[in-house]
């Protein structure tokens, strides 16, 4: 098809959106001016000039849709545009453009530097439109990936709220979000007014705008709707949710404007009983315990109590989820009670440092004896291994001289190869097995010595790890945590009782005990030394 055959003229279509993918595209006015020159140079008659500021990543552009309908009616038979991606960046509109060209409804598309006709460039045009569509998809995925990475580093990936600024001079390892020197203290005063309990949000907004002159970065006063958003935004307490509505709360690295108690008090004053929870993974024992009555999992929840004097108290309760039995009667139990029950168990297996030192010496002596026995075992295993290797070689010689059949050779070879592999595994495991035994006992002694202090001063994950070490059969019945100790911990409990008896026997008056006397009694004990 030649452009001289096009009698109805052309639509000049220009588009630009404000999104990041279009930032490098020339403005609509510049597109129109350049395309007018193209039309004049190639003697193309322009029927109408159409333009819109709208993204093409999804269908629904009013001006484009109107142009398509007018093309179908035959108002024009050609289109002039800057690039094909100005016409479409989504598969639906791209398909429409291709269909119009293939059906001859559009007989010519002229871009700034190329021609597209129904008979010669449809495939190429399809590839270019597909590239435009893939570009917008990749851009979206890369953008989301970047936002997630930023959030995981602790920085809110979006426009920051009033009182904060993105750091314009940020370098590597610098803070990405900093306090706004002009507004941070004023916004903090808004929270202070609310915390007095005598101001309503509209009164706070009016005071901040009229008396303090607080303005947003765009110069507007704090509106009534905006003040509610500010007062309920957990970002000011140091936490944000990303993505929105996901329940994934992240501790931000920005400097909080208010603390958690202040935030909770404001939500109560606002009667926000369902205020945002940003406590994901903040309960040490959630997911580790089960209800002994119905077998459902034990979950945790936090309750907040406000006293008449304004003090706020937080309580954590562990309760049955009732997913297996909605009528389960098991009552909730406070976290402090569970802490006390775990501490009681740990106290039963706690051993003093003097016993640990003595026990390690005994273990090393026993380990040295094991090493002597291990050398004898290794020698025997090595002989078995060498014997298997020699038999395999002899078997190959016998087959080569036709002394045995192929079937006999294969059967014997499989048996000897399996035996050789078994002996090799025993050799490899010999050193590791004895070393692992010593290391495991050493860790057990260290755990029994330090468990109580680690638990009492430990962070959330420390407490969780200690409870997990008790095993998986952790049940709650009548507000009591039932713990079945593993065999190694049961042996530590027996040892701890015996050590305690020795101390009680040697310290009737609370006098210091000589280390050698202690070790002598440990040796004589039928439980410890026997």
Q: pLDDT (tens digit, 9 = 90+) per residue, 291-322?
A: 999 988 888 888 877 777 767 777 889 999 88
Query: Would you say residue 298 lies in a domain?
Result: no
Q: What is the pLDDT of residues 356-380, one digit of tens each?
A: 777 777 767 766 666 666 677 777 7
The domain in which residue 373 lies consists of: 351-522
| Domain match, 108 and 175 both | no
**pLDDT at position 25, please?**
53
Closest CA to 364 of 449, 450, 442, 444: 442
Phi-psi region of 336 (alpha: psi -120 to 50; beta: other; left: phi over 0): alpha
Torsion of the alpha carbons at 163, 167, 173 and 175, rounded to the nearest 10: -10
| Domain match, 107 and 202 both | no
Between 146 and 438, name the one with better pLDDT. Answer: 146
| Domain match, 448 and 508 both | yes
Query: Would you say residue 425 lies in a domain?
Result: yes
| Domain match, 51 and 108 both | yes
What does the block give as tokens for 237? 């307490």
Q: At which of 137, 170, 190 does a domain end? A: 137
Give the count of domains, the chain: 3
**pLDDT at position 280, please?**
47
Q: At residue 221, does pLDDT exceed 80?
A: yes
| Domain match, 390 and 477 both | yes
Residues β-bridged to residue 299: 319
CATH number of 232's domain? 3.90.1750.20
**pLDDT at position 328, please?**
93
| Domain match, 405 and 445 both | yes
CATH number of 117's domain? 3.40.50.1390
For the segment 120-126, the average pLDDT, to the nearest whole number, is: 56
Which residues make Cβ contacts (< 8 Å) with residue 463, sequence separation at least 6? 284, 285, 339, 342, 455
**pLDDT at position 324, please?**
87
**pLDDT at position 273, please?**
42
| Domain match, 255 and 378 both | no
Query: Would you say residue 156 lies in a domain?
Result: no
| Domain match, 175 and 118 both | no
Query: Would you say residue 327 lies in a domain?
Result: no
Which secondary-structure segment (H or E) carries 326? none
| Domain match, 178 and 98 both | no
DSSP code of 246?
A: S
**pLDDT at position 141, please?**
56
Residues β-bridged to residue 109: 79, 116
Query: Would you say residue 284 lies in a domain?
Result: no
State the Cα–Cα distance between residues 317 and 338, nearest whole angstrom.
10
| Domain match, 130 and 196 both | no
Closest CA to 71 of 33, 39, 109: 109
| Domain match, 133 and 204 both | no
State the Cα–Cα distance between residues 489 and 470, nearest whole angstrom.
8
State the Cα–Cα distance between residues 320 and 395, nearest whole angstrom.
67
Q: At residue 137, does pLDDT exceed 60?
A: no
Closest CA to 332 of 296, 281, 298, 304: 298
By three-state DSSP, how is residue 306 classified?
strand
Query: Would you say residue 518 lies in a domain?
Result: yes
Query: Would you say residue 88 lies in a domain?
Result: yes
Query: Would you say residue 175 lies in a domain?
Result: yes
Q: At residue 150, does pLDDT exceed 50?
A: yes
| Domain match, 204 and 125 both | no
What does pLDDT average to over the chain? 79
State the Cα–Cα distance between residues 445 and 424, nearest whole angstrom.
33
93 exposure class (CB count in 10 Å sphere: 0-12, 13-18, 19+): buried
Q: At which of 269, 298, 326 does a domain end? A: 269
**pLDDT at position 78, please?**
94
Q: What is the pLDDT of residues 179-192, one digit of tens each?
A: 998 889 999 999 99
Which residues make Cβ contacts (< 8 Å) with residue 453, sequence separation at least 6? none
- The pLDDT-based confidence of 334 (bands split at 50, 70, 90) is very high
Report CA-CA distances (Å) from 341 to 289, 298, 337, 346.
13, 16, 6, 9
DSSP code of 351?
A: -
CB 92 within 8 A of CB 68: no
What does the block give as tokens for 189? 């005063």
By three-state DSSP, how is residue 282 classified?
coil
State the Cα–Cα distance between residues 357 and 405, nearest whole angstrom.
64
User: Distance between the two ends of the chain, CA-based, in angstroms?
Assistant: 104
By three-state DSSP, how is residue 241 classified?
strand
């Amino acid at each position: 098809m030649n452009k001289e055959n096009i009698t109805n003229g052309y639509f000049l279509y220009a588009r630009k959106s404000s999104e990041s993918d279009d930032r490098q595209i020339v403005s609509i006015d510049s597109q129109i001016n350049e395309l007018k020159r193209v039309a004049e140079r190639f003697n193309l008659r322009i029927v109408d000039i159409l333009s819109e500021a709208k993204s093409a990543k999804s269908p629904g552009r009013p001006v484009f849709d109107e142009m398509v309908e007018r093309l179908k009616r035959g108002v024009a038979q050609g289109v002039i545009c800057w690039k094909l991606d100005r016409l479409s960046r989504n598969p639906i509109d791209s398909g429409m453009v291709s269909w119009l060209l293939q059906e001859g409804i559009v007989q010519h598309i002229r871009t700034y530097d190329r021609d597209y006709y129904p008979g010669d460039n449809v495939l190429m045009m399809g590839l270019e439109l597909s590239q435009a569509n893939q570009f917008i998809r990749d851009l979206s995925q890369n953008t989301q990936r970047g936002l997630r990475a930023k959030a995981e580093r602790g920085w809110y990936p979006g426009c920051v709220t009033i009182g904060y600024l993105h750091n314009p001079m940020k370098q590597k390892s610098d803070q990405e979000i900093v306090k706004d020197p002009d507004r941070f203290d004023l916004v903090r005063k808004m929270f202070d007014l609310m915390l007095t309990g005598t101001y309503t949000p509209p009164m706070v907004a009016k005071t901040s705008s009229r008396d303090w002159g607080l303005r947003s970065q765009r110069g507007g006063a704090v509106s009534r709707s905006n003040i509610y958003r500010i007062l309920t935004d957990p970002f000011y307490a140091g936490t944000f949710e990303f993505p929105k509505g996901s329940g994934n709360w992240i501790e931000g690295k920005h400097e909080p404007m208010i603390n958690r108690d202040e935030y909770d008090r404001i939500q109560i004053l606002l009667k926000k009983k369902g205020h945002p929870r940003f406590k994901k993974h903040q309960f040490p024992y959630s997911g580790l315990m089960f209800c002994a009555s119905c077998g459902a999992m034990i979950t945790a929840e936090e309750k907040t109590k406000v006293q008449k004097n304004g003090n706020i108290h937080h309580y954590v309760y562990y309760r049955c989820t009732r997913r297996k039995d909605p009528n389960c009667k098991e009552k909730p139990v406070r976290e402090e009670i569970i802490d006390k029950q775990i501490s009681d168990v740990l106290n039963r297996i706690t051993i003093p440092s003097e016993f640990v030192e003595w026990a390690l010496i005994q273990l090393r002596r026993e380990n040295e004896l094991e090493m002597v026995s291990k050398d004898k075992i290794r020698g025997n295993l090595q002989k078995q291994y060498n014997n298997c290797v020699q038999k395999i070689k002899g078997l190959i010689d016998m087959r080569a001289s036709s002394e045995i059949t192929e079937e006999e050779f294969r059967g014997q070879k499989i048996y000897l190869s399996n035996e050789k592999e078994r002996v090799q595994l025993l050799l490899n495991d010999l050193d590791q097995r004895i070393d692992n035994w010593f290391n495991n006992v050493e860790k057990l002694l260290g755990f029994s010595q330090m468990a109580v202090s680690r638990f009492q001063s430990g962070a959330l994950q420390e407490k969780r790890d200690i409870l997990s070490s008790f095993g998986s059969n952790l049940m709650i019945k009548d507000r009591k945590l039932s713990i079945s100790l593993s065999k190694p911990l049961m042996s530590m409990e027996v040892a701890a009782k015996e050590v305690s008896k020795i101390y009680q026997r040697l310290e009737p008056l609370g006098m210091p005990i000589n280390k050698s006397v202690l070790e002598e009694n440990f040796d004589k004990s039928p439980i410890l030394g026997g």
